[in-house]
Amino acid sequence: MYKISAILLMVCFLLSIVNHIAFSAEPITTTPILTDPPTTYPPTTYPPNTDPPGEPNCIGVECPVIPCDPGFIQYIPPGECCPTTCVCDPSTVCPLLGCEPGYVPYTPPGQCCPTKCVCNATFPCPLLGCAPGYIQYTAPGDCCPSKCVCDPSYPCPLLGCPPGYIQYTVPGDCCPSQCVKDCDPQTPCPLIGCAPGYEPYTAPGECCPSKCVCNATYPCPLIGCAPGYIPYTAPGDCCPSKCVCDPTTPCPLLGCAPGYMQYTAPGDCCPSKCICDPYYQCPLLGCAPGYVAYTAPGACCPSKCVLVVYDKKQ
């Protein structure tokens, strides 16, 4: 009986100690336990002739040959086993085009390298400063406007022509600047006999032609000019009538000696010989008394001093 009581007392004492430790306000400090660093594992590998999870099984698949042009390589899309198309090879070095200012290289769809130069949309074009009634015009193939043309949407001012007159726009202008007679197309004009190469001309403000002028579409006969010559149209004529010297043809240099100059004969285009230059100042010989400077035949300047011989009979 006494042994059982002793055992019960011992159990109660131990339980009180446990409760004191569990509910005590004092923090319980523990010494950290050092562990080994985490173990690293190599990347997942797969046995030969197998595919990673989620990839197609391409074992034994025979792919068709896709011919690619130079600069292209075959492309296998994700999830496929065989190439389906050709794409640009990123290692290809494209040739430089050397575009002018205002142009940039352009690569057409389906190509890997630029093939031509096109206009640069960000290039600042200079302003032409067109007058009222005109707009800037960009010729086909150009990137910037090069001239001013008539603006079809511009409202030209009315002139207020009197009865029997209509507004007239001078060729090259965009708006009418004068009033001319309102010609009746039913009224016949007198005939003017113009020579071949000419056509009747009606002056501004007139209803009928009053003179003949050159017809720009008339085919003039060809004149066979020699090298160094060009056809010449005399004032008042419409077609060339003779050959004259071409001022752009370079003439050979004759290499004239000092005191000489090149001479071009009448009708020739280039000099053919050297003649004395009348403006050349010949050097003085300094002849002694009784001697005079002598110019040899064909020479331009005296070359020696000769004794003056007087006739005793004089």
Domain that holds residue 137: 123-151
- Would you say 87 and 72 are in contact if contact means Cβ atoms under 8 Å apart? yes
Q: What is the structure's pLDDT at 43?
A: 45
Residues 107 and 147 in one domain: no
Domain end among 108, 132, 151: 151
Whether residue 10 has pLDDT greater than 90? no
Residues 133 and 114 in one domain: no
60 occurs within a structural domain: no
278 occurs within a structural domain: no
- Would you say 292 and 274 are in contact if contact means Cβ atoms under 8 Å apart? no
Residues 99 and 132 in one domain: no
Residue range 123-131: mean pLDDT, rounded: 89
74 occurs within a structural domain: yes
* Banded model confidence at residue 13, pLDDT cuts 50, 70, 90: low
309 occurs within a structural domain: no
- Measuring CA to CA, how many Å separate 284 from each of 30, 256, 287, 295, 301? 129, 21, 8, 12, 9
Q: What is the structure's pLDDT at 147?
A: 92
**How many whole angstroms separate alpha carbon 31 and alpha carbon 61?**
62
Give the range among 3-12, 60-69, 194-203, 286-295 with minimum mean pLDDT. Answer: 3-12
174 occurs within a structural domain: no
Q: Look at the chain and report how many structural domains it folds into.
A: 2
**How many whole angstroms separate alpha carbon 284 and alpha carbon 303?**
9
Q: What is the structure's pLDDT at 305?
A: 93
Domain end among 151, 168, 195: 151
306 occurs within a structural domain: no
128 occurs within a structural domain: yes
Tens of pLDDT, residue by residue over 183-221, are 887 888 888 889 888 999 988 778 889 999 999 889 999
297 occurs within a structural domain: no
Domain end among 81, 102, 120: 120
